[in-house]
Chains A and B, each alone.
Chain A
Amino acid sequence: MAVAVLPANRSASMPYAKDNAQTSSSVAVRGAFSDHGLAALAALVIEAAMLVIITTGRINPMMFLGAHAIVVILLGVRAVTVGHRGGNTLSPMLTLIAVAATGPIGAAGTLLLMQLASRPRQDQALLSAWYERIALSIDVDDVTLLCDAVATGRTPDLATVTDRSFATVMQSGNLADRQTALGIIARKFHPDYLPALLLALKSPEPIIRVQAAAVATRIRPLLRARVDKAATSAESVTGDSIATLAADMKMCAASGLLDESDRLRADVVEKLLLKRAAATTVTDTAAWRRFVPSSPLQRDVSEGQLLSLGQFKALRVSRRLTRLLGHGLYSIRRPETGSSRRLL
């Protein structure tokens, strides 16, 4: 129901990233004639002038002290005003104390200190680069990103890695775990997650079914793209990639998430690949194992899917392959020679 009360995209949620980066490269350098500098300069001029006048004997020491007190009071008022406005009171206070204690020497000293502090520091460039990095306005290489992640504690915590498959989580996990798993399936989809998604679609928990349906809607185009890609490369793929691709098509077709026309295409591509594979020597049995479900649960799910789709021939092939691989050996008959060759 609710529309767009969440930011629609990342750039909307971080509108000022670029602006921050730009201002970071122009970190303010204090000039000699900032507010504090002017106050210190004024105090220096007044105190020095009075000192010169007193040495000429034109004013008596009491008048000098009175004028000095007025300068100190004015500096004090200035420090209080800066503090009230929420500004940094360090410089005004330093100036006040220095002038109160040592007159023009103190004023000259604080002015000199401000000059030294205002010089651009050697690491300013480093600071600017840092601002640009954290504002994400520059590209950062993968090694640096990894170092950052390790230093900030953002790498995966091996202590929390789960040993449960997502399919097991869908069957017996708590609600939060199931929803988190579905979120991962949506964001980091891989066809191996399909059995878990199919279980979620049939979950007795309505919240899980709704979320699974949203995930299914999202990954359907991804599956279709896989079928499109496989269809274009079915004739050219070689070696053990044939088995891998055929297994992928089998999984996509059995998922129930493809449009009927795409499912039929996936079927056709799988059959084509199987035919090509039959004419090829298989050296990597691991690739062939992807044809069959890797666990009883996955087998039940994929066989259930094949049954519900009426794919009886595919079901028989799947079961035959499971039996053969379970025996630890199989052979491929070469039609042209009539001979068979045991491979394991």
Chain B
Amino acid sequence: MARPIAQKLQRVAAADVCIIVEGCYPYIPGGVSAWIDWLIKSQPGTSFSIVALWPRPTDQPPRYQLPTNVVSFQHVYLQNFGASPVTRLRVPPGTDDFAEALAAFSMHGGSASLAQVAIQLQALRRVLPASVLFNSPVAWDIVRRMYAQRMPYSSFLHFFWAWRALLGGLFATLEFPLPPARVYHTISTGYAGILAARAALETGRPAVLTEHGIYTNERRIELLMADWVADTVDKGHALDDPRLDLRDMWINAFEAYARTCYDACTDIVTLYDDNQRAQRMLGANPAKLSVIANGIDLARFSNVATAANDLRPTMALIGRVVPIKDVKSFIAAAHYLKATVPNVRALILGPTDEDPEYFAECTTLVHDLGLEETVEFTGTVNILDYMSQIHVCVLTSLSESQPLVILEAGAARIPFVATNVGSCREIIEGRSDEWPPLGPGGIITDLVAPQQISNAVGQLLLDPVKRRTYGETLQKRVAESYTSAQAVASYSKLYSRLIAAPSAAPIVPPTEG
């Protein structure tokens, strides 16, 4: 675990690249945080500053040591905005224009709209600070007008508090003093995307976005299922009721933020092709889109010995024992597989302490199905110690982006059976523009389909020739398209181009700190 971030880094120094990240680095391990850590370390000649967006000040210790080429680290607290309420306040001129700009931005987004909001806010700031404005009769007036215009059917009480939650985060990003940098690199849309867009407008420097998952879609899914969002308008089961309610308000806001970020960024990068469809649907300009896939150190895995045919047939799930990995489908697949491969071994290589309740359910399921001699939970291990025993790797996840485990197994010539999520199909079967087409490196199945998974694994376990062919194909594909060196070179090239780019004329005057 990293030491607390040194106080000296709180002084804001100029950097080549300012990384803007929301809700993960450096406090949440794995996934995107690990990627950011890798990115910074892979560009030792580039200086970085980091702006971490977080709900409130936290006691959580950082899980990553800041690399030596990080020159500053700052927080933006999204749910902590606003001074003490002010009841007696003269309404300053320009409030109407600000309210109009804010309403338009919250609904539609776009960098021009954000610029208007920022310019109007700066004009108001000359009369009173934004933190005071946010908790004053001025804000009350704005809320009432936005409610009457947009959501007259919903509960005003709920609208008011939702407005405060949403706009508090927006105001926090608009007020934050931008660290100086040549390039602003955001790792998601949302509030981080707004900050990057604002940086581009105020400094004239380029902003770039790398999306792992599609933030807007993740929020949409959360919001469509959330019980805490009150349904104040009873729409029954109607799918296209035009009355806006709170759920629509939240979703529209995040979509507006995404459009703003896509509009302001010069380059929009993602890890795989399928994500670009979602970005285009949200209004991203196709000319800005590119793919820079994750990469692994091929040499670390390519010398692993292939599992011998006479070893006990072994399939393995490499991952955390948590619901999103759907380990239960893996266990059920092992149960079905025993019919055709009676002595199959099913390894689950990964930490079991992240969700103890779910782990308990998995062990109960193993017991109920009589699989104690078949399924083995190893806990956190070095996967290199096990790879020479594994004939087929399996991923039963319900959601993934670009799982490194497939690349690592592929580098070790282990064929893969995976659910049709994220970039799994692209890695296992190849991109549509792969030339020459290499063929499959495994089999793709539906989600929550243990019988299909069992059939697919059975095919590979019982056919050594197919297994070897698929494994070699997957290794070849990983070597051609998914090495760490390629990813490093791609980002190095991107940063060089953007750092050297001339500054555009700022559209919004800089915010005085």
Residues of A within 8 A of B (CB): 1-10, 13-15, 17, 84-87, 134-136, 149, 152-157, 160-162, 169, 173, 175-177, 179-184, 186-188, 201-202, 206-207, 209-218, 256-257, 259-261, 308-310
Q: Report A340 CB to chain B, min CB distance, Å.
A: 37
Structural contact, B243 and A157, CB atoms closer than 8 A: yes
Residues of A with C-beta under 8 A to B332: 259-260
Query: Number of residue pairs across A and B with beta carbons under 8 Å?
Result: 190
Whole-angstrom CA separation of A43 from B416 in the bound complex? 92
Structural contact, B228 and A211, CB atoms closer than 8 A: no
- Which of B104-112, B174-182, B230-238, B300-308 sits within the interface? B230-238
Structural contact, B243 and A260, CB atoms closer than 8 A: no
Segment 411-430 of B: residues with Cβ below 8 Å from A: 420-422
Interface membership of B188, Cβ < 8 A: yes
Structural contact, A260 and B224, CB atoms closer than 8 A: no
Q: Report B20 CB to chain A, min CB distance, Å.
A: 12
Structural contact, A187 and B233, CB atoms closer than 8 A: no
Whole-angstrom CA separation of A180 from B191 in the bound complex? 24
In the complex, 17 of the A-B residue pairs with CB atoms within 8 angstroms, ordered by the A residue number, are A2-B24, A2-B190, A2-B215, A5-B78, A5-B190, A7-B79, A13-B161, A13-B162, A135-B157, A157-B235, A157-B238, A160-B242, A177-B239, A202-B446, A209-B447, A212-B447, A261-B369
Residues of B with C-beta under 8 A to A215: 225
Whole-angstrom CA separation of A11 from B241 in the bound complex? 27
Q: Report B358 CB to chain A, min CB distance, Å.
A: 10
Known: A6-B223, A14-B157, A217-B326. 15 other contacts (CB 8 A): A2-B22, A3-B28, A5-B190, A17-B157, A154-B153, A155-B234, A156-B236, A157-B238, A160-B235, A162-B238, A176-B239, A213-B398, A257-B448, A259-B332, A308-B451
- A5-B23, A183-B224, A217-B324 as given contacts; A160 in contact with B157, CB under 8 Å: no
Structural contact, A177 and B240, CB atoms closer than 8 A: yes
Residues of B with C-beta under 8 A to A175: 281
Interface membership of B220, Cβ < 8 A: yes
A161 to chain B: closest residue by CB: B238
Interface membership of B479, Cβ < 8 A: no
Structural contact, A14 and B365, CB atoms closer than 8 A: no
Q: Report A265 CB to chain B, min CB distance, Å.
A: 9
Whole-angstrom CA separation of A51 from B328 in the bound complex? 96
Whole-angstrom CA separation of A6 from B157 in the bound complex? 18
> In the complex, which of the residues A85, A136, A259 contacts B90, with contact meaning CB atoms closer than 8 Å?
A85
Structural contact, A7 and B221, CB atoms closer than 8 A: no
Structural contact, B451 and A1, CB atoms closer than 8 A: no
Structural contact, B421 and A209, CB atoms closer than 8 A: yes
B158 to chain A: closest residue by CB: A14
Structural contact, B448 and A201, CB atoms closer than 8 A: yes
Structural contact, A13 and B238, CB atoms closer than 8 A: no
Structural contact, B234 and A7, CB atoms closer than 8 A: no
Residues of B with C-beta under 8 A to A181: 239
Residues of A with C-beta under 8 A to B219: 2, 6
Whole-angstrom CA separation of A258 from B339 in the bound complex? 20
Residues of B with C-beta under 8 A to A209: 420-421, 447
Residues of B with C-beta under 8 A to A218: 225
Residues of B with C-beta under 8 A to A210: 217, 221, 398-399, 421
Residues of A with C-beta under 8 A to B218: 1-2
Structural contact, A162 and B239, CB atoms closer than 8 A: yes
Q: Report B372 CB to chain A, min CB distance, Å.
A: 14
Q: Report B24 CB to chain A, min CB distance, Å.
A: 5
Structural contact, A86 and B90, CB atoms closer than 8 A: yes
Q: Report A182 CB to chain B, min CB distance, Å.
A: 7
Q: List the 9 closest A-B pairs by CB distance, nearest first.
A: A183-B224, A213-B398, A2-B23, A261-B368, A156-B236, A3-B23, A186-B225, A260-B332, A160-B238
- A10-B228, A154-B233, A217-B398 as given contacts; A260 in contact with B158, CB under 8 Å: no
Interface membership of B502, Cβ < 8 A: no
Interface membership of B89, Cβ < 8 A: yes
Q: How many residues of B contact A (CB 8 A)?
A: 86
Whole-angstrom CA separation of A87 from B24 in the bound complex? 46
- A1-B212, A5-B190, A209-B420 as given contacts; A183 in contact with B225, CB under 8 Å: yes
Q: Report A4 CB to chain B, min CB distance, Å.
A: 5
> In the complex, which of the residues B23, B240, B450 contacts A1, with contact meaning CB atoms closer than 8 Å?
B23
Whole-angstrom CA separation of A206 from B187 in the bound complex? 21
Structural contact, B157 and A216, CB atoms closer than 8 A: no
B400 to chain A: closest residue by CB: A210
Residues of A with C-beta under 8 A to B188: 1-2
Whole-angstrom CA separation of A136 from B158 in the bound complex? 11
Whole-angstrom CA separation of A169 from B238 in the bound complex? 12
Q: Report A150 CB to chain B, min CB distance, Å.
A: 10
Q: Mark B50-71, 1 if CB is under 8 A from A, else 0.
A: 0001010000000000000000
Whole-angstrom CA separation of A248 from B424 in the bound complex? 35
Structural contact, A1 and B221, CB atoms closer than 8 A: no
Whole-angstrom CA separation of A161 from B364 in the bound complex? 44
A152 to chain B: closest residue by CB: B153
Structural contact, A1 and B215, CB atoms closer than 8 A: yes
Residues of B with C-beta under 8 A to A188: 237
Candidate in A85, A169, A175, A210 with the most chain B CB atoms within 10 angstroms = A210
Residues of B with C-beta under 8 A to A259: 328, 332, 361, 365, 368
Interface membership of B335, Cβ < 8 A: yes
Structural contact, B32 and A260, CB atoms closer than 8 A: no
Interface membership of B449, Cβ < 8 A: yes
Interface membership of B510, Cβ < 8 A: no
- A160-B235, A184-B237, A187-B227 as given contacts; A260 in contact with B369, CB under 8 Å: yes
B55 to chain A: closest residue by CB: A4
Q: Mark B239-275, 1 if CB is under 8 A from A, else 0.
A: 1111100010010000000000000000000000010
Interface membership of B165, Cβ < 8 A: yes
> In the complex, which of the residues A160, A176, A256 contacts B241, with contact meaning CB atoms closer than 8 Å?
A160
B422 to chain A: closest residue by CB: A206
Q: Report A189 CB to chain B, min CB distance, Å.
A: 11
Residues of B with C-beta under 8 A to A3: 23-24, 28, 55
Q: Mark B389-413, 1 if CB is under 8 A from A, else 0.
A: 0000000001100000000000000
Candidate in A86, A153, A260 with the most chain B CB atoms within 10 angstroms = A260
